[in-house]
Amino acid sequence: MSSRAIGVLFMAYGTAAGPDDVERYYTDIRGGRPPSPEHLRELKDRYAAIGNRFPLLDITRDQARGAVDALNAEDQGAFRGYLGMKHSPPFIADGVEEMRRDGIERAVGLVLAPHWSGMSVDTYVERVEKALVERGGPEFTFVRRWFDHPGFVELLAGRVSDALGRLAQDERDGAAVVFSAHSLPTRQLGDGTLRCKLCTSPACETACRYVEGLRETADLVAGRLGLTEYATGWQSAGRTADPWWGPPVEDVIRDLAAAGHPAVISCSAGFVSDHLEILYDLDIEARQVASDAGVRFERTEMPNADPAFVHALASVIRDHLAASASGA
């Protein structure tokens, strides 16, 4: 049985299901190598510090449902949504299999990470393609990047404006905004330039598209708001021997404090949901760094399943389909 509906596979990193699933989850992230007892204890302590909340799967499900509802508002039943997580159930292969069982013939893959990198977005695409080779399924096209989509930029601008509005007037006048995304491990080329460690994409021959993408998002949001005091930084670097993209958000906050800024707004533009990298890395660690440096810290609210965000996702998908149809 075939389905004329277009399937949309919404993909995200995944999450532990609860405290007892943390070891399984991080073992999967580490390619089957369990974390050390010390690292595992620290990870569990971090989750405990945020109230043992694991909201990513529920948020992703709500984002997918909202985006599909927005897509179907004009043509009911034209789209069907599916979930695929990289490191937790339902896995990406599970989502592809569900599409196959439902008879979906045409599908769009969307990673819920705005900025493209061969080490991030392309690894999701590879998992879809592996599942298709093994079991078959619909014909896929993929949204590779959407960090500069007007709907997403407008949403971030609104979030930054709201955060600035929570400051006192004297703090607002001198505030700086830090736009961040997840750091990635790097490698150094022969000429000394850095690239994401496992990325071999020709698109990054002259400059890392991941780094440039975050800067462009920051410039677009700043331009919309008329910001002059803003910077980019990197968060949530892993613990490996490789160097990771920097500067870390914490160092950026210290530098801004030293430059005399009374307040810092943190806008995590590379993430779209509340999870450990937001609720702990920013709300606890970065906030403490700001407190120690003597500056006010405010974080923008994450998009989560806000109607404005799911409508922006729907617009990203519509634009992708239109571009695919025109051969662009």
How many angstroms separate the CA atoms of 25 and 190, rounded?
A: 36
> Using omega within 30 degrees of 0 as the cis cutoff, is the peptide bond preceding 37 cis?
no
**Confidence band, pLDDT 50/70/90 cuts, at residue 205:** low
Model confidence pLDDT, tens digit, residues 274-305: 999 999 999 999 999 999 999 999 999 999 99
Compute the mean pLDDT over every residue in the chain, rounded to the nearest whole number: 93
pTM of the complete model: 0.94
**Confidence band, pLDDT 50/70/90 cuts, at residue 234:** very high
Decide if pLDDT at 196 tops 70.
Answer: no
The CA distances from residue 247 to 62, 114, 170, 229, in Å, are 33, 20, 27, 17
pLDDT at 9 (0 to 100)? 98
**Confidence band, pLDDT 50/70/90 cuts, at residue 328:** low
Nearest alpha carbon to residue 271 among 235, 220, 306: 235
**Confidence band, pLDDT 50/70/90 cuts, at residue 206:** low
pLDDT at 286 (0 to 100)? 98
Locate 303 and state its tokens.
């998009």
All structural domains of the chain: 3-146+305-326 (3.40.50.1400), 150-299 (3.40.50.1400)
Decide if pLDDT at 190 tops 80.
Answer: no
Locate 142 and state its tokens.
């993929």
In the chain, count H helices and then E strands: 12, 10
How many angstroms separate the CA atoms of 253 and 287, rounded?
A: 9
The CA distances from residue 315 to 71, 210, 308, 311, 322, in Å, are 8, 22, 11, 6, 10
pLDDT at 74 (0 to 100)? 82
Decide if pLDDT at 1 tops 60.
Answer: no
DSSP string, 28-54: HHTTT-PPPHHHHHHHHHHHHHTTS--
Decide if pLDDT at 122 tops 80.
Answer: yes
Sequence-separated contacts (24+) of 197-201 with Cβ below 8 Å: 197/119, 197/242, 198/118, 198/119, 199/117, 199/118, 199/119, 199/122, 200/118, 201/118, 201/122
3-state SS track over 99-119: HHHCCEEEEEEEECCCCCCCC
Mean pLDDT of 46-51: 98
